[in-house]
A and B are shown apart, each in its own frame.
Chain A
Amino acid sequence: MRLPVLLAALVAVATCTETFVGHQVLRVVPKSDEELQKVQELQALEHLQLDFWLAPRGLGSPVDIRVPFPSLQPVKAHLEASGVSYSIMIEDVQALVDEEQTEMLRSSRRLPLDTNTFNYEAYHTLDEIYNFMDMLVAENPNLVSKLEIGRSTENRPLYVLKFSTGGTNRPAIWIDTGIHSREWVTQASGVWFARKIVQDHANNEGVASILETMDIFLEIVTNPDGFAFTHTKNRMWRKTRSKHSGSICVGVDPNRNWDAGFGEAGASGNPCSETYHGPYANSEPEVKSIVDFVKSHGNIKAFVSIHSYSQLLLYPYGYTNTPAPDQQELHELSAKAVAALSSLYGTKYTYGSIITTIYRASGGTIDWTYNQGIKYSFTFELRDTGRYGFLLPANQILPTAEETWLGLKVIMEHARANMY
């Protein structure tokens, strides 16, 4: 039987001075007043140095006693003489402490040494992902740089990785993941994309040719406050963590906060709602920072915002039924991207405009970017279709990232081949 908290405390002690070799933990369940009294007598015998993990409380309540090796004989004799039955819960406390210590060291979240030892098949914390970014930049200083485009409500840095082989303000592709914090497979895929770009460049394959003439910008944790909250307090948190005056509720839906049909049908004016659009467009620093970046860059040709779940590839619009002027091209491009995605593991995707495929949604990211003139504006909704939903098993991170990448490449290559 394992009692991690108590053992952890013992480990702390054990690493200093005390040892628990030969100590046993005995359990007595007093079934009569006489038995209870016999156990309570033991409490008074200080020289035995007994350590009551569970003190006597009453009849039927277990009493757990850590007994040092020298006291084992007298304690057992005392109990047996009175006919009090006991069981040995832990035969050797030190052995268990040693085992726990080994396991703690093995499983302790030591930072990986480099991007090769980073575990891409697991979900990570914000610190781990930020550390990964730094490692990636350090290992590839001529290709990757880290830009801070702003700060979140809780003052966390908002980082974008820039992948560039040179030039000045080259036409660029933007990819963001994690704008909705509970969609964990997206941030995990973003991490994988970052490494994939570096690998392709090193092996002169895949997107290496795209990088000859275009830059790639990747924001992996687009909503770091929300992401931290999903780790610490509420795994199902979606929004930002902003507090706007007059409400007890926290957070704005960052995918309803953009200046495209802002506040119209398809978003909520209720701060307690998951689709609350916020007090005004770009009220959220997480959104404003991207808006400022896109406007000042001025040369972004493709913008992809990644969400989960539902297995969809979507293009504008969400806030209006009016078809996007480039609807036909976007629809055909979606078909190609989805075909490429499905070719890897047979994962089925549906595609179409936001408003016809999922719902009316106003103030959305890609509606704004499209209206800014970024023709190839897409949203992905990654795996799955609802069996696990937001809680996608970690063993699906890799296949999800790999298949999605194939779809992304189709979009990127089309953008490069169709410069406007």
Chain B
Amino acid sequence: ELPPSHFAAARAAAVAMGYLRYRRGGPGRGLELRALRRARRQDIDDAGHKYYLELELEDVLDKGRTVNCTAEVLYHLGSKSTAPDVQATVQGELRSTEEADKEFYNRIRSLEKELVAENIPDSHGNVPLELEPLHLLAWAASGYVIWQNSTENTKFHLAQVKHVKQAKRSDEDLQFDYVLLLHEMVSQEVVPWEVTVLWHPRRGARVPRDRRQPGHA
């Protein structure tokens, strides 16, 4: 059993949140960890360390409603290249994003020129209203990268969307090519990461391509 205030529990929770944002987040939903209720750690011989977590979640667009979630995070033994295994079960309903997703999808599809934006939020924390869905989509995409690249010695957060460019597609997906700045808490480094996101109201977000940007200043 771990006190929820222990850093190991917080790091595992961050991995679970990354996974959840990727799977359930999108331009109309941003999942935040409201509280870590309980954490247990199990050392599994020849496998790794497994964390059992009880989380309280909140959709930033639907504050006031908290949803419980149980998650398991398995960090594989001694590996640098294998992503942790995550399982998560959300108990209860999250606010529907059907309307917001449809509106966002149609708005982007009807743009004449491909959308380009940068510095979201800006230095003062501002996010223009019309760019908020792109910010939330970045948060979902960063969830994938965070999940895939976390170890017991890291804790990542999305620091900023440095750049985003839409790439028009002939199929039904929306595509956005992001440069995200990820803040890693233990080393305190801010790492630029190129992430391509595909999104569709029914299919959700997918990250087909991502790479740590080479030549970091």
Binding site of A, secondary structure by majority: helix, strand, loop or mixed?
Answer: loop
**Known: A275-B187, A358-B185. Is A391-B125 also a contact (CB below 8 A)?**
yes
A129 close to chain B: CB less than 8 A: no
In angstroms, Cα B60 to Cα A359, docked, is 28
Return the contact of A386 from the options B6, B7, B122, B157 (Cβ within 8 A): B157
Given A350-B5, A356-B7: A393 touches B187 (CB 8 Å cut-off):
no
Residue B172 interfacial (CB < 8 Å): no
Interface 1/0s, chain B 1-30, versus A by CB < 8 A?
001111100100010000000000000001
Interface string of B88-130 (1 = CB under 8 A from A): 0000000000000000000000000000000001111111000
CB distance from B144 to the nearest CB of A (A): 16
**Stretch of B32-40, B42-50, B75-83, B203-211 on the interface side:** B32-40
Q: In the bound complex, what is the Cα–Cα distance between A392 and B157 (angstroms)?
A: 13
Q: Does B189 contact A (CB under 8 A)?
A: yes
**Chain B residue contacts of A358, Cβ below 8 A:** 7, 10, 185
Instruction: Determine whether the beta carbon of A359 is less than 8 Å from that of B121.
Output: no
B6 A393 Cβ-Cβ under 8 A: no
Known: A348-B35, A391-B160, A394-B124. A274 touches B5 (CB 8 A): no
User: CA–CA, A390 to B14, complex, Å?
Assistant: 17
Given contacts A357-B6, A359-B7, contact A396 B188 (CB under 8 A): no
Asked if A273 is at the interface (CB within 8 A of a chain B CB), the reply is: yes
B181 within 8 A of A: yes
> A393 contacts which of B7, B121, B183, B189 (Cβ < 8 Å)?
B121
Which single residue of chain B is at the shortest CB-CB distance from A387?
Answer: B32
Pair B159/A389 contact, Cβ less than 8 Å: yes
Contact A351 B5 (CB under 8 A): yes
Chain A residue nearest to B33 in the complex (CB): A385
Q: Is the CB of B188 within 8 A of A275?
A: yes
A314–B160 Cα distance when bound, in Å, is 26
- Find the A residue at minimum CB distance from B186: A359
Tell me if B190 is interfacial: C-beta within 8 Å of chain A: yes
Supposing A348-B34, A389-B159, A390-B159 touch, asked if A357 and B7 sit within 8 A by C-beta, the answer is yes
- Determine how close the nearest CB of chain A comes to the CB of B93; give it in whole angstroms: 22
Complex contacts, A122 vs chain B, CB 8 Å: 124
B-side contacts of A385, CB under 8 Å: 32-33
Interface string of A99-138 (1 = CB under 8 A from B): 0000000000000000000000011000000000000000
Q: What residue in chain B is nearest A249 (Cβ atoms)?
A: B217
Is the CB of A352 closer than 8 A to any CB of chain B? Answer: yes
Interface size class of A (residues with CB under 8 A): 20 to 34
CA–CA, A284 and B127, complex, Å: 36
- Asked if residues B30 and A396 are in contact (CB atoms below 8 Å), the reply is no
Q: A356-B5, A389-B157 are known contacts. Are A274 and B187 too (CB-CB below 8 A)?
A: yes
Q: Which of A385-417 contact B (CB under 8 A)?
A: 385-394, 396
Nearest B residue (CB) for A350: B5
Set of chain A residues within 8 Å of B5, measured between Cβ atoms: 350-352, 356-357
**0/1 string, A344-380, CB within 8 A of B gives 1:** 0000101110001111000000000000000000000
Residues of B within 8 A of A184 (CB): 123
A270 to chain B, nearest CB (A): 10
Residues of A within 8 A of B179 (CB): none
* Given A356-B5, A393-B121: A387 in contact with B186 (beta carbons within 8 A): no
Additional A-B contact list (8), CB under 8 Å, known A359-B185, A386-B158, A387-B30: A231-B123, A236-B159, A236-B190, A350-B4, A388-B121, A391-B121, A393-B121, A393-B126
Interface residues in chain B, defined as those with a beta carbon under 8 Å from any beta carbon in chain A: 3-7, 10, 14, 30, 32-35, 60, 121-127, 139, 157-160, 181, 183, 185-190
9 closest A-B pairs by CB: A393-B125, A386-B157, A274-B188, A350-B5, A391-B121, A236-B190, A391-B125, A352-B5, A235-B123
A-B contact pairs, 19 of them (CB 8 A): A123-B124, A235-B123, A238-B188, A274-B187, A275-B187, A348-B34, A350-B10, A351-B5, A352-B3, A356-B7, A357-B5, A358-B185, A385-B33, A388-B121, A391-B122, A391-B160, A393-B125, A394-B124, A394-B125
